[in-house]
Amino acid sequence: MRTVLALSLCCLFSFADTAIISPHDIVRPEIAHSAMIAASEPIAAEAGRAILAEGGNAVDAAVTMAFTMAATLPRAGNLGGGGFMVLRTPQGVVEVIDFREMAPAAATRDMFLNEAGDADSEKSRFSHLAVGVPGTVAGLALALEHHGTKDLKRVLAPAIEAANGFDAPQSLTEAITARTDRLGANAAAAAVFLPQGKAPQPGSHFAQPDLARTLQQIADGGAEAFYNGPFADAISKEMAANGGLVTKADMATYQAIVRKPIRGTYRGYDVYSMPPPSSGGVHIVQLLNILSGYDLTAAGHNSAQSIHWLAESMKYAYADRSKYLGDTDFVDVPIEQLTSDAYAAAVRSGIAEQARPSEEIRPGQLLPPESNETTHFSIIDHHGFAVAVTYTLNFSFGSGIMVPGTGVLLNNEMDDFSAKAGVPNAYGLLGGEANAVEPGKRMLSSMSPTLLVKDGQVFLATGSPGGSRIITTVLQVILNLVDHGMNLQEAVNAPRVHHQWLPDELRVESGISADTIRLLEARGHRVVEKTTMGAAASVLRSSQTGQLQGAADPRRDGVAVGL
């Protein structure tokens, strides 16, 4: 990952002469008048733009892009994973589609414990037991059926073309090289990604004919062809031969779910985000509620005071996450209490001028009654649709396991369950009873596709990859826009901070001043500078001009393209 400078001297995107942007701005977003896409992969973004140019809407473009990234961004784009979509219709209705993976029917609570009763991360991350029932194909097909104007043959055409071959970018070859050991351990994956035992050269022709065939089956037969056809046969055979649990029955019974969004308000904006099994919406609203009691604008962006308020608020939110969040089809999550103003005020009253050690913070007493390798893209179109999609395989290339003859990489999302209460997952997040493994249950996620609406008009579509840092990345993009008056590209580029309660460290990106860090340390924070966090892909509609701004994140390869 490249280091991000808050004030880059280089503009990453072109802009129109008519852009309403301060001449003092150094970085500027892409500008368009009709529609805008922000995404992490250029081929998929161009495929989405082509759909929009021929009259399709943002949902058509989103489904096109998601299928295309299964071929062009295989470390995160997928058919064998899952995710979430938040969309707003031209009539102002906000809907969320949950296509998160699901535990197989044969899953058991203690399936990832070894003989000593300890959590075995190898089982939960890299074995066939790590694979949840994939939801991506069902979710995309459902979105297209409910809101699209194109058929599956049209939206899948760019994905099939890409699977039949494209020039491999350096980012793809570097990602494969970084996972050579894991991909090389699976014969089917190695045959695709490591021909002659090593990653393809940048610019070389990279083809995935088995994936193209699977995509064509979906184009011809719909999601049914995936969940009750050749792929279902192939995955059940692969699982049975290698100790996995996903069966044909699991595939046949999987369904994407339409849910009600989490809704909050912040300084005159309506905030819509994902409900459980994502923790993102609950905690973004919770954090905004807490921070609404502080004058962040007066404190200044990334000042010691504002970062202190952010860090202390984050500790409480992630402590609550460890106890209360899970799949609401299985557990009672106190959403109304966690997102209430009264609870935010109670949390705020416990925030002092000195940092409170995490060991002193416990999940809150609620007021009665009450993967890093992921990818995200955002779209706003001229029809009035706004769409934010985050989906993933979990780790880069997921489990590293490919179903032979299909070209489909499988997720390792079962690691997002609590293998054992109080034992952290791969992102250091603790979980408890609410997120324990159960058959048919959807594992907790941090994915947070989010929309902001003001005065009846969509203002922002945003989201990010980044595992446990997704929530805080999305939060800071919102704060940078609303409280600190940045343009969209500045809001995305600005250095980020993160605290997730445990471990008790305030993580910062390069770009936070040494003086600010010293002031934070004097308040009792243990500050650590680590690699960059998140990769926000965001689209904003100007309330003054109606122009669209698009900003992809320079922390990873990305692009904003408009009409």
Each residue of 216-275: pLDDT tens digit? 999 999 999 999 999 999 999 999 999 999 999 999 999 999 999 999 999 999 999 999
> According to the model, what pLDDT value does residue 427 have?
57
Is 60 exceeded by the pLDDT of residue 13?
no
- Whether 443 contacts 103, CB under 8 Å: yes
Average pLDDT of the residues in 87-100: 98
Largest Cα span, the chain? 66
Phi and psi torsions of 275, nearest 5°: -85, 175
Go through 100-122 and write b for each residue having 16 or more CB atoms within 10 A of its CB, e for each that does not: bbbbbeebeeebbbeeeeebbbe
- Whether 421 contacts 436, CB under 8 Å: yes
The DSSP string of 327-352 is: -TTTS---HHHHT-HHHHHHHHHT--
- Which pairing describes strands 30-32 and 548-551: parallel, antiparallel, or unpaired? antiparallel
Each residue of 442-452: pLDDT tens digit? 999 999 999 99
Q: Which DSSP state fits 494?
A: S
- Which pairing describes strands 82-88 and 94-99: parallel, antiparallel, or unpaired? antiparallel
* Number of helices (H), then strands (E), in the chain: 20, 21
CB count within 10 Å of CB 456 equals 7
Average pLDDT of the residues in 386-407: 97
Residues in the chain: 563
Stretch among 4-13, 218-227, 358-367, 541-550 having the lowest mean pLDDT? 4-13
> According to the model, what pLDDT value does residue 26 have?
72
Catalytic residues: 374
Each residue of 332-387: pLDDT tens digit? 999 999 999 999 999 999 999 999 999 999 886 554 332 567 999 999 999 999 99
Each residue of 498-538: pLDDT tens digit? 999 999 999 999 999 999 999 999 999 999 999 999 999 99
Alpha-carbon distances of 444 from 32, 260, 302, 430, 435, rounded to whole Å: 36, 17, 30, 11, 6
Closest CA to 47 of 71, 26, 82: 71
Phi and psi torsions of 33, nearest 5°: -110, -25
* Residue type at 405 in one-letter notation: G
pLDDT confidence tier of residue 433, bands split at 50, 70 and 90: confident
Is 90 exceeded by the pLDDT of residue 176?
yes
Cβ-in-10-Å burial (0-12, 13-18, 19+) of 20 comes to exposed
Average pLDDT of the residues in 183-196: 97
> According to the model, what pLDDT value does residue 9 have?
30
**Cα separation, 443 vs 473, whole angstroms:** 21
Q: Where are the domains of the chain?
A: 60-85+96-258+396-435
Q: Which DSSP state fits 76?
A: T
The DSSP string of 380-425 is: E-TTS-EEEEEEE-SSTTTTS-EETTTTEE---GGGGSBSSTT---
pLDDT confidence tier of residue 197, bands split at 50, 70 and 90: very high
Average pLDDT of the residues in 468-497: 97
Cβ-in-10-Å burial (0-12, 13-18, 19+) of 202 comes to middle
